[in-house]
Amino acid sequence: MGSTRLEILGPAGPLGPCSPAEVSLSLDEVRVLNTSVPLFSSRQVASQCQLLQASLGRPSSPQLPQLPDEPVSLQDAPGGVFQMPPGDPFPERVTVVWLSVLALAFALVCEPQENLSLAEITLRRLAPRLLLSLRLVGPGADVLLRPDAADGLLDRLLPHGQMLFLNERFLQAMDRELGLKVSR
Amino acid sequence: MFTAAAESFLRQAREIQEEELRRFTARVSALLQGPEAGPEAVDGLQRLHLSVAATKYPRKLDGKFVEQLQTVLCSPKSPEQIQVLCAAILREMSPCNDLVLSCDEIQDTKLLSLVSSVLLAQGSRGEVAAVGQRVVQGLERRLPEGQSARFLLPVLANVISLSPGSLTEEQTNVVSKKLADWLRYASIQQGTAQPSGGFFSSPRTKQPAPITEVDGAVATDFFTVLSVAQHYTQDQWLNVQAFSMLRNWLLCYGGKELDTLNPGASAGGDSSGTPLVPAPATPGRLLPPRERLRDKAFEYCQRLVEQSTRRPLKKEDGDLQKACLIEAVTIMDIICKQDSSYVCRAVSCLKILHSRICGDATYARALLPIAQFFLSHSKQAAVDSDAIYKHLFSDIPALLFHNPSLAFEFVQFCKDNSQLFTDSSSIFRQSFPNLFKFLAWNSPALISEFVDLLPFLLDPGTAIEIFHLLLDLPCLTAALDIQLRCDTEASLELLPEYGVPELIRAAALPASEKAGAEPAGKPATCLEAFHHPLYRSMFQYLLRSRAAPEDAPDSLVPLRQLLGSLAGSPRVVQCAETVPVLLELFFRVVAEFADGSLINQLVVLLLQRSDQLYEIPAFKEDVYRVLGSNLAMLCGLRPALVVELSTEILEFSGAVSNIQSKEAIFTHLAWAVGEYLSVSHDKRCTVEQITRFFETLEAVLFEITQLRPQASTPSCAPRAISVLMATLTKLAARSQDLIPRVSMFLSKMRTFVQSPAVTSVYCEEDLEEILIRATELMNLLKMPSVAQFVFTPPVASTRFQKEVNDSLPLALRMVTQLLEPAAGSMPV
């Protein structure tokens, strides 16, 4: 359970921090995993997302709406889950849970046996907080230049890749610690 | 999708030259050395992180600087933001050769967690083990004031998932003991708020209040992740973390044996089997740590099951309740596998749980781990759990096919338990029509799962029904769409009067029981048709939840036509795109077990169904391609079918329209006739039969080459013409009276290719190829004995599938060369 990893994906590729690599890999393999894998899975998420949008009869919006101050609703945010076979590109089979918000997608790469309900909850909590603290829909470049903010969030909500069973009160306490004001 | 500013940053970061990066690094280094690293240093580190992270090529940073990053990271004087950034850069550079970092001396738990993140990212087993040792040490000892184990537990979770063999038996015992305490004995009083230090705030701390349940009631039992408080204590945070990592911990260390500190050990090895240690006995006796943890974990799960009955004040906690329930049931299953003495208690708890939630669709996902539990243990507990499986496989897919997460988990469940499908009479095997609903609705996410699952569903008893199902899959998507819309309408009408469980039952009712008055005449819309007597039985058959080969209506043609209006819907189109893949797989699997009668049945069906496909042009074209090549494969498996099914084959191949509409199937069939209609394949093959086939195909070829040029009809595929000529020649070689007829026919091909009507529709290369082929065949027929030899392939061919005419060209060309050594006009 400890190796769930988050990826934030824009059409240009992965933006997010990627955490631990598998043991028993060579140095080069670790490097390849750390760099190529997010790219690869981001393409899969992008295509799954487009297919889902198409099946719902919605055009996938190529433009990022400029609504930096509007609270983002996750009510109807499309999301899904799919599996990637071993070696393609992760050495072991993985399950990818994804959520698309505006023109971005957030994806959790999980081990096959993990609690997917919890992964979906975790993703739904991470997304608005990342949007808020990285100003992902704003005009700036915080998403690229504030790895500390992203790490701070991940360290609370997904510490070392561990998904947590947090009820709303725990979450509020966590937001207080981070100084976040998430609309509820 | 970046803004212009971000794009520019990204480009700069990717394109930065080594020299420039070196200068930049030096500047950041100087800023870090200053007495107080301020915003400028933060900014520098952030940019540096981007330049390392934005490229897939390893960035070389100066060794001295990497050393400095590590020093700053570990220095207690550094601001937290700077430390986080240093760690992020070091992680991004992993694996890093210049690392001297160690967590041995670090006392601060937060910093230890940060440094561990760098060490664990290196991908080295040694580092993982070292971090594991240090963290267990930290958990073992009493932590200094102000330090919390809360930051260490996730590190440990990561360590065991990376390399479970990193801990010794003794260490796992230490942690098991701690986990049991955190799970069972967290404080049941609320924590207190951090004093805000406000001028008017009262220094007197309030009396701590008891924790509450998600519905607001005061908690009556011990603390769990579903316990609510205004503020939480450290041990309550640890309770959350302990439960979050509990499943993986039990999988790694809960079983009776584990090769700890063995580099070859793998995670979550098979730990089932009868336990060495007897059941938890008298309460007074202190159990060994592993057994004690099991005991406390079981109690915890039971409490979560109990807590899931409460109605949460906050909607989000309802989602968490369900996730907890799934986790609790899964953990109970693991515990029972590790110690069978828990099975009885678990069975009674889960039976009650099942009957409570089975009517509530929002709990449907929890039904999967419950069914998994009973699959693992019902035999041992001697309980009948068929009702649980039956409900899961007959009701849930039919109602909730449109829930993508459930669909995924359901199909995973089937894959994980694929052995269930080997018993053809079982509830599982019989429910395959229901499983296809998941695929029909969620095809992009599930296609690869179904590629794994389909072989387990196929056997001689199901092959025909699954063949129909696959061909009707996009039609099923359309029908599900209609069903969903009808259900939504129905539920809107029912909503004011009934509660949710009633709603589900109402949705599951057959349409006939819902529709009141029968509408007269033809329905105007698909929605009306759903309840209309003309279509109802067809809808019911297509949407059936169990295998019912004998209930198939005479034809689904009217329904396919009715649903034609949905053929352009994106979901239907996506589903249609998955059919060729599955159809290929279908034939590959069926070929392994099919007997003669099944093969014949399939060939007849294949020809029939080629006329009865859902009207999506690209889909039909793809399906024809797959059906065509697999028709040839089936004929190759069983050549005698050409004789046995001569009526059906003659009917199909005698229709000129089939060349135009179903060229792939027609061509492969004509080829199979030429290849297999021979005494050497089937003794029953008579001269009359050969003549009948010859005359039928001759008439077809005549019609498309000799009659058509006059009319302005569309052209036929040159491949079909070529195969027809070859087949006629092959048949003539076996019944030599026909040789003059075919030779004459072939000689007319020169006039055909030269007629102006023909040259305007066919391209020059194609015509040239047709002429070459005709000339070659004519030449061959000049030596009948050679022709017979060339056209009679060895019967004991092991190739299942041949390319049309793959053996011919070489032989033909050789004969042509023999006959016309100076043939300058014929390219060879």
| Residue B331: predicted pLDDT | 98
Q: How far apart are the first and last CA of chain A?
A: 28
Task: Kindly report the nearest CA distance between residue A147 and chain B, in angstroms.
Answer: 7
Find which of B42, B161, B192, B484 to mutate to test the A interface (most A CBs within 10 Å of its CB): B161
- Beta strand extents in B470-536 (DSSP E only): none
By three-state DSSP, how is residue A108 classified? strand
A75 and chain B in contact, CB less than 8 A: no
Q: Which of A132-136, B326-330, B543-547, B633-637 has the lowest mean pLDDT?
A: A132-136
Task: Kindly report the nearest CA distance between residue A65 and chain B, in angstroms.
Answer: 11
Please give the average per-residue pLDDT across B549-559, as a whole number. Answer: 81
**A172 contact partners, CB below 8 Å, separation of at least 6:** none
Q: Do A34 and B94 touch (CB under 8 A)?
A: yes
Q: A177: nearest CA in chain B?
A: B194
Q: B110: nearest CA in chain A?
A: A155
* CB contacts, 8 Å: B408 with chain A: 80-83, 116
On average, the pLDDT of chain B sits at: 84
* CB contacts, 8 Å: B9 with chain A: 141, 144-145
Confidence of residue B9 (pLDDT cuts 50, 70, 90): confident
| Residue B817: predicted pLDDT | 61
A92 and chain B in contact, CB less than 8 A: no
Please give the average per-residue pLDDT across B785-809, as a whole number. Answer: 56
* CB contacts, 8 Å: B92 with chain A: 34
Q: Which of A106-120, B170-184, B515-529, B756-770 has the lowest mean pLDDT?
A: B515-529
By three-state DSSP, how is residue B212 classified? strand
| Residue A87: predicted pLDDT | 82
Half-sphere exposure of A74 (CA within 13 A, CB side): 23
Q: B448: nearest CA in chain A?
A: A83
Q: Is the pLDDT of residue A172 over 50?
A: yes
The larger pLDDT score, comparing residue B335 to residue B148, is at B335
* CB contacts, 8 Å: B84 with chain A: 147-148, 151-152
Confidence of residue B486 (pLDDT cuts 50, 70, 90): confident
A183 and chain B in contact, CB less than 8 A: no
The span from the CA of B647 to the CA of A17, in Å, is 66
Q: Which of B221-230, B348-357, B491-500, B772-781 has the lowest mean pLDDT?
A: B491-500
Report percent pLDDT > 70 for chain B.
85
Residue A22 has its nearest CB partner, among B56, B91, B123, at: B123
Q: Do A144 and B444 touch (CB under 8 A)?
A: no
The larger pLDDT score, comparing residue A153 to residue B201, is at A153
Task: Kindly report the nearest CA distance between residue B662 and chain A, in angstroms.
Answer: 29
Q: Do A145 and B230 touch (CB under 8 A)?
A: no
The span from the CA of B461 to the CA of B714, in Å, is 43
Task: Kindly report the nearest CA distance between residue A19 and chain B, in angstroms.
Answer: 7
Cα dihedral A82→A87→A90→A92 (10° resolution): 80
Q: Do B3 and A104 touch (CB under 8 A)?
A: no
Task: Give the helix/strand (H/E) hosting B674.
Answer: helix B663-676
Q: Do B241 and A162 touch (CB under 8 A)?
A: yes
| Residue B257: predicted pLDDT | 54
* CB contacts, 8 Å: B161 with chain A: 1-3, 111, 161
Confidence of residue A25 (pLDDT cuts 50, 70, 90): very low
| Residue B353: predicted pLDDT | 97
Residues 146-165 of A with CB under 8 A from B: 146-148, 151-152, 155, 159-165
| Residue B554: predicted pLDDT | 77
The span from the CA of B5 to the CA of A165, in Å, is 38
The larger pLDDT score, comparing residue A101 to residue B597, is at B597
Spell B708-734 as b/e; 16+ CB within 10 A means b: bbeeeeebbbbbbbbbbbbbbbbbbbb
By three-state DSSP, how is residue A104 classified? strand
Task: Kindly report the nearest CA distance between residue A181 and chain B, in angstroms.
Answer: 17
A54 and chain B in contact, CB less than 8 A: yes
Q: Which of A14-18, B6-10, B30-34, B526-530 has the lowest mean pLDDT?
A: A14-18
| Residue A38: predicted pLDDT | 57
- Residue pair A96/A84 in contact by the 8 Å Cβ criterion: yes
Cα dihedral B728→B734→B738→B742 (10° resolution): 30
Please give the average per-residue pLDDT across B295-307, as a whole number. Answer: 97
Q: Do B10 and A85 touch (CB under 8 A)?
A: no
The span from the CA of B176 to the CA of B156, in Å, is 12
Confidence of residue B2 (pLDDT cuts 50, 70, 90): low
Task: Kindly report the nearest CA distance between residue B261 and chain A, in angstroms.
Answer: 14
Identify how many contiguous H helices and E strands chain B contains and give both numbers. Answer: 42, 0
Q: Is the pLDDT of residue B161 over 80?
A: yes
Task: Kindly report the nearest CA distance between residue A83 and chain B, in angstroms.
Answer: 8
Please give the average per-residue pLDDT across B42-66, as a whole number. Answer: 85
In this structure, what DSSP letter does residue B507 have?
H
**ipTM here:** 0.84
| Residue range B384-433, pLDDT digits in tens | 889 999 999 999 999 999 999 999 999 999 999 998 888 766 888 889 99
| Residue range B571-601, pLDDT digits in tens | 999 999 999 999 999 999 999 999 999 999 9
- Residue pair B718/B769 in contact by the 8 Å Cβ criterion: yes
| Residue B84: predicted pLDDT | 93
**B204 contact partners, CB below 8 Å, separation of at least 6:** none
* CB contacts, 8 Å: A45 with chain B: none
- Residue pair A147/A6 in contact by the 8 Å Cβ criterion: no
Q: Do A12 and B46 touch (CB under 8 A)?
A: no
| Residue B199: predicted pLDDT | 54
A139 and chain B in contact, CB less than 8 A: yes
| Residue range B716-758, pLDDT digits in tens | 788 899 999 999 999 998 888 999 999 998 998 888 888 887 8
A169 and chain B in contact, CB less than 8 A: yes
The span from the CA of B724 to the CA of B546, in Å, is 44
Q: Do B88 and A151 touch (CB under 8 A)?
A: yes
As given in the structure block, the two tokens for residue B693 are: 């086939």
Please give the average per-residue pLDDT across B110-114, as a whole number. Answer: 92
Confidence of residue B808 (pLDDT cuts 50, 70, 90): low
Confidence of residue B266 (pLDDT cuts 50, 70, 90): very low
Confidence of residue A71 (pLDDT cuts 50, 70, 90): low
Domains of chain A plus CATH, in order, are: 5-178 (3.30.450)
Q: Which of B461-470, B494-503, B588-597 has the lowest mean pLDDT?
A: B494-503
Residue A115 has its nearest CB partner, among B47, B50, B323, at: B323
Q: Do B5 and A55 touch (CB under 8 A)?
A: no
The larger pLDDT score, comparing residue B172 to residue A7, is at B172
Please give the average per-residue pLDDT across B467-485, as a whole number. Answer: 94
Task: Give the helix/strand (H/E) hosting A6.
Answer: strand A5-10
Q: B127: nearest CA in chain A?
A: A23
Residue A83 has its nearest CB partner, among B120, B449, B571, at: B449
A91 and chain B in contact, CB less than 8 A: no
Find which of A5, A101, A145 to mutate to test the B interface (most B CBs within 10 Å of its CB): A145
Q: Do A25 and B123 touch (CB under 8 A)?
A: yes
The larger pLDDT score, comparing residue B268 to residue B713, is at B713
| Residue B468: predicted pLDDT | 95
| Residue B427: predicted pLDDT | 85
* CB contacts, 8 Å: B409 with chain A: 116
| Residue B196: predicted pLDDT | 53
Q: Tell me, letter by letter, the H, E, C secondary structure of A22-80.
A: CCCCCHHHHHHHHHHHHHHHHHHHHHHHHHHHHHCCCCCCCCCCCCCCCCCCCCCCCEE
Confidence of residue B500 (pLDDT cuts 50, 70, 90): very low
Confidence of residue A22 (pLDDT cuts 50, 70, 90): very low
| Residue B821: predicted pLDDT | 47
Q: Is the pLDDT of residue A141 over 70?
A: no
The larger pLDDT score, comparing residue B429 to residue B508, is at B429
* CB contacts, 8 Å: A65 with chain B: none
Q: Which of B167-176, B187-196, B562-571, B705-714 has the lowest mean pLDDT?
A: B705-714
A140 and chain B in contact, CB less than 8 A: yes
Q: Is the pLDDT of residue A28 over 70?
A: no
| Residue B751: predicted pLDDT | 85
Q: Is the pLDDT of residue B289 over 90?
A: yes
As given in the structure block, the two tokens for residue B423 are: 């018993």
Confidence of residue B793 (pLDDT cuts 50, 70, 90): low
